[in-house]
């Protein structure tokens, strides 16, 4: 037999789940599932985490940090610079706040720069003072359909940031064990696991928790080339 397991992220207004077989693994320890490209899978998982973190914390302001002169070409040094930047900015603001940042290599060869998102107004003068290595830019996302609100803006920010996750930072000497993105600690979206006997059942329970029907639903059964276990994903406006 088996059953469905659905993980709901209420603050991010989304969740997903799949059918889990109760069949024991083979004695050889080999899976019968089709092979998965580990890099593609890692990028997909990273995009999902970025989307949920941005949405749950309503990170709807996008910023960029660049270096003056020859720029920064050492990813490890970049992480030290950005870590110091957010510590100084947090001290200036006076309290911890959620943020997410992603590094990117300049196409022109001038080293690395940083894209980041926050969910509160922070004056550009404060950001410039905390950065101190070059130039900054920040804007509140707009031009969305009426009613999108901070959640829709945060999802748009996540889409922008996710564009950089699939880029090959390893080619630039990314330190072993480092992530494609970094976040402020203590603001991970809470999750709720819902188990049931069918996709409709777990989705119904998720809608009960959210207090509204889902706005968008994706089902693997609608994909002709789907090769994984049966799955479902839903989001709320």
Q: What is the pLDDT of residue 171?
A: 44
Q: Cα dihedral sign for 103, 109, 110, 111?
A: positive
**Cβ pair 73, 112 in contact under 8 A:** yes
Give the pLDDT confidence score for residue 177 in this predicted structure.
Answer: 42
Is residue 114 a contact partner of residue 103, using CB atoms and an 8 Å limit?
Answer: yes
pLDDT score at 34: 44
Residues of the chain with pLDDT under 70: 1, 23-39, 166-179
182 vs 117: CA distance, rounded Å: 11
Q: Which residue has the tokens 């949405």?
A: 55
Partners of 99 in the beta sheet?
Answer: 118
Count, in order, helices (H) and strands (E) of the chain: 5, 10
DSSP 172: G
CB–CB of 32/220 below 8 Å? no
Is the sign of the CA dihedral 166, 169, 174, 180 positive or negative? negative
DSSP bridge partners of 218: 233
Residue 126 exposed, middle or buried by CB count within 10 Å (0-12, 13-18, 19+): middle
> Cα separation of 6 and 206, whole Å?
8
Q: Could you give the 3-state DSSP secondary structure of residue 203?
A: helix
Entry pTM: 0.87
pLDDT of residue 31: 42
Q: Which of 63, 64, 55 is nearest to 141 (CA)?
A: 63
One-character DSSP codes across 46-64: HHHHHHHHHHHTT--EEEE
Report pLDDT for 179. Answer: 62
CA distance 80 to 103: 12
CA distance 237 to 12: 10
Residue 111 gets the label, from left (phi > 0), alpha (psi -120 to 50) or beta, of: left
């Amino acid at each position: 037999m088996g059953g469905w397991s659905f993980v709901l992220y209420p603050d991010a207004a989304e969740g997903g789940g799949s059918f889990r077989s109760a069949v024991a693994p083979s004695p050889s320890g080999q899976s019968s599932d089709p092979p998965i490209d580990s890099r593609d899978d890692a990028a997909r998982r990273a995009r999902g985490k970025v989307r949920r973190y941005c949405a749950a914390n309503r990170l709807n302001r996008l910023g960029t940090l660049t270096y003056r002169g020859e720029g920064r070409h050492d990813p490890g040094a970049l992480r030290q610079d950005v870590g110091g930047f957010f510590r100084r900015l947090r001290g200036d603001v006076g309290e911890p706040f959620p943020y997410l940042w992603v590094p990117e290599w300049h196409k022109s060869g001038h080293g690395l720069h940083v894209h980041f998102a926050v969910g509160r107004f922070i004056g550009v003068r404060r950001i410039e003072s905390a950065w101190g290595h070059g130039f900054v830019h920040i804007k509140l996302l707009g031009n969305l359909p009426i009613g999108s609100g901070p959640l829709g803006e945060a999802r748009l920010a996540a889409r922008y940031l996710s564009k950089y996750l699939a880029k090959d930072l390893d080619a630039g000497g990314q330190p072993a064990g480092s992530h494609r993105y970094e976040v402020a600690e203590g603001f991970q979206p809470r999750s709720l696991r819902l188990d049931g006997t069918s996709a409709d059942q777990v989705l119904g329970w998720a809608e009960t928790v959210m207090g509204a029907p889902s706005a968008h639903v994706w089902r693997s059964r609608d994909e002709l080339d789907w090769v994984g276990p049966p799955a479902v994903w839903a989001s709320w406006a």
